[in-house]
Structure 1
Amino acid sequence: MLLLARFGLMADLALLMGLPLFWWAMGMAGQRALLAALALGGGALSALWLLASAASMTGTPLLPPDWATAEILLTMTPIGPVLAVRSVALLGALVLAVAGRDRWVLIPAAIAAATIAWTGHAGATEDVAGTVHRAADVAHIWAASGWIGALAALLHAVTMRRPNVERVAVMLAKFSLLGTVFVATLVVTGVVNSLMIVGFADLPTLTGSRYGWLLGAKLAVFGGMLGLAALNRWRLTPALERGDSAIAALRLSLMLETGAAIGILMLVAWLGTLDPMA
């Protein structure tokens, strides 16, 4: 259950940040009902994650909840301050969404997404190295959230009953530069995070650990996403601009890319619970 809670929480917060970022970049109106639902979902999933963490620590079932251990986590570990900051940010996102300030939701949503960095390996790194590690992790989370939000918006646009081909082509063209920034950020911060977690000298030892195999799987899936993104950018977008014959191929490509993103989130949720050197 802990893995499912982590996965659901990361997906929710990524969409809560990524969607308004994409809408802002495209100059589009947002969907406040969806953002409000994501803000509420982020709160519920955070509570589930807390209870699942308590159950995992004590080796007990999720139900009935272990309130005593949950209280210890809230009062004696960094989880308490992290959840406090996230709760305030999610409340701010909810208020802004209900008020129709869709683009402003991006600010508290980015804060909420950033708190994930303090609940994984980056949260355990100390001193200056810890600051660098968490900064890299936050940038990694923001770039991933931007990409995931864009995928969700684009997939919705191409799966409508009658897709507006011209509008989709414009969206893809506008997103190309931002997408390049996301990819570059993910690559650089991914390298920094790996070196901070494992260390350059211990990288060869990953080949014999579960963490190493899962990290390799994540990198392989990420490589597949890059290939699909390149296909969209250099082949399908130009074809779409010449007519709607490429819409079916683009739809399939975006579905595969979204599936890969979901797979990566599942792997990241698992990796965050493992000792890299075990």
Structure 2
Amino acid sequence: MSDSINIALRFALYVDLMLLFGLAAFGLYSLRGQERVSGAVLPFGSLLAITVVLGGLLSLAAMACMAWAMSGVADWTELWPHIEMMVFETDVGWAWMLRMAALLLAGFAVMFSQRWSTASLGLATLCGAVALATLAWAGHGAMDEGSRRNWHFITDFLHLWAAGGWVGALAAFALLLRQAEPQLAVLARTLTGFETAGALIVAIIGVTGVVNYLFIVGPNVDGLLDSTYGQLLALKLILFAAMLVFAALNRFHLSPLLEQARQTGEHGVAVTALRRSMVLEFSVAVIILALVAWLGTLSPVME
């Protein structure tokens, strides 16, 4: 039961913190000037505030769950000393405190999403990046030592940030497409502008994914599918390939179709097709994050 709760909390934290970082970053690299003001194109104030509050609550629950699983104590008065020990005397605890501080600062930044929109998004992006990076301490990299541990963490950070950028962009496009009358000029421009960022994100995810595999499993694939870890990893790769297909469809067919429809004024079909594609791609991304949350609790050792 505790394993299931742990996986569910890890999954929820992945989704929440990636949205915090990815949505704020999207506002910086895709939107311009007054478009970054909360409510002008996207309701950054409410969206980021929700992710900050949920991130804090999920982090509290995750720490309590971890202490409960490690101590076996059920009573709160007996569990509290174990939580204190984990928070102040372990690397995971220090990472947890850094995440809570980053979330607190991100909440402060959100308060100025109307007055100083660019500065608010910039600070929220930085804080989101820090909060998202702290999840690496709950992964396989924390089991390494010395320089190998440092390089593993760096790879994990890059992987998390790239994935967060992709998830945040998908969420932003989905929100733009949900509007009754999508701002077609902004939507078309941001879709086209995401081509470079998207290519960089895919490259980083691919390279860091291979490096992470070498860190965790090593240069060996023999018998990998004999373990639960290997089977879940294979499923993750298949779903990642499906996301690449959706991304290529958006890039080479649906985005040009939207631009053509925008010029003719008949954009209903193009918008509907994009909505369907974005929903499917985001759904696949969510399933991948669920697999990642599960993989982080498993050993790659063959069963």
Asked if these proteins are the same fold (TM beyond 0.5), I'd say yes
What displacement does 1:52 show? Answer: 1.6
State the partner residue of 2:198.
Answer: 179
Aligned match of 1:228 in 246, 249, 252?
Answer: 246
State the partner residue of 2:29.
Answer: 25
State the partner residue of 1:136.
Answer: 155
Tell me if structure 2 keeps the 8 A contact 1:32–1:102.
Answer: no
Given residue 258 of structure 2, which amino acid in structure 1 is its aligned partner? L
Structure 2, unmatched stretches of 5+, are 39-43, 114-119, 262-266
What displacement does 1:60 show? Answer: 6.3
State the partner residue of 2:279.
Answer: 255
Separation in 2 of the partners of 1:238 and 1:65? Answer: 61
Deviations 1:71-126 (A, max 9, x none): 33223321111111111111111111112223321111111111111111011111
Deviations 1:190-220 (A, max 9, x none): 000011011114x323211000000111111
Counterparts in 2 of 1:104 and 1:77: CA distance versus 1, 3 Å: closer
Q: After superposition, where does 1:22-171 map in structure 2 within 5 Å?
A: 22-27=26-31, 28-29=35-36, 30=38, 31-58=44-71, 66-100=79-113, 101-171=120-190
Separation in 2 of the partners of 1:102 and 1:267? Answer: 30
Separation in 1 of the partners of 2:193 and 2:291? Answer: 30
Task: Give the number of aligned pairs.
Answer: 277
Separation in 1 of the partners of 2:299 and 2:133? Answer: 22
SS at match of 2:222: helix
State the partner residue of 2:289.
Answer: 265
Greater Rg over alpha carbons, structure = 2
Among the aligned pairs, what percent are the same residue? 39
Q: Structure 2 length as normaliser, TM-score?
A: 0.87
Given residue 69 of structure 2, which amino acid in structure 1 is its aligned partner? S
What displacement does 1:63 show? Answer: 8.0
**CA-atom RMSD, angstroms?**
1.8
Given residue 169 of structure 2, which amino acid in structure 1 is its aligned partner? A
